[in-house]
Amino acid sequence: MNRRILIAAALVLGACKGDSPEADDPGSETDSPTGDPAGAPAFVVAPTLAQNTVPEAPLSWRLVGTLDRAATVTVTVTDPIDSWERGPFVVGDDGALDVWLQRWHPGQTHSVVVTATDDAGSVSVELAVVAPALPADMADVRVVTATPDRMEPGFTVFAPSHTGPTAPQYLTAYDENGIPVWWYAAEGSVFS
């Protein structure tokens, strides 16, 4: 019974779209976050990004949202330094999207495009993240020579030394350009 009501509502709403450019092209994709009931997936709960609540590791963000059906999700992030993509993430029939993302450049504003795709089309939503600046007491690491094409993929993780036994220690992940993209502030030595 409920399915018939939803189908009837979709047909009525589809008829109301007669003046839109997509109405003349049944194969066109939609950029609406609500999607098209007869076509592309729709976000029934818009995607949001929430910063990690653990203050010692602030450069992790959780992406959550809900789609109206199973789909594949990709996330494209662009900032003034770099761009990167994560996914595809497979979202099951319950439509629940819940992933953690890392690689934010400190002090930069990031454009985040979340795209859900299935056989009927795709829908994209754009978000923004402003990553916190590096801690003032973090050791300044300078990469003198880097050859990313000869490096293993992924991040380089280490704990740079700082001056003095009471100085904060940071377990830090660096991208292929030598830019910190994640850190964990530890009390005392990170190796004890």
Q: How does pLDDT run across 118-143, given as a tens digit for each residue?
A: 999 999 999 999 999 988 888 777 77
| C-alpha to C-alpha distance for 93 and 111, rounded to whole angstroms | 28
Tell me which residue of 114, 118, 119, 84 sits closest to 99, measured CA to CA: 114
Per-residue pLDDT at 180: 86
pTM above 0.85, yes or no: no
Q: Which residue has the higher pLDDT, 139 or 192?
A: 139
Per-residue pLDDT at 16: 36
Q: How does pLDDT run across 29-53, given as a tens digit for each residue?
A: 444 454 455 689 999 999 999 998 8
CATH code of domain 30-130: 2.60.40.10
Domain ranges of the chain: 30-130, 135-192
Q: pLDDT at residue 97 above 50? A: yes
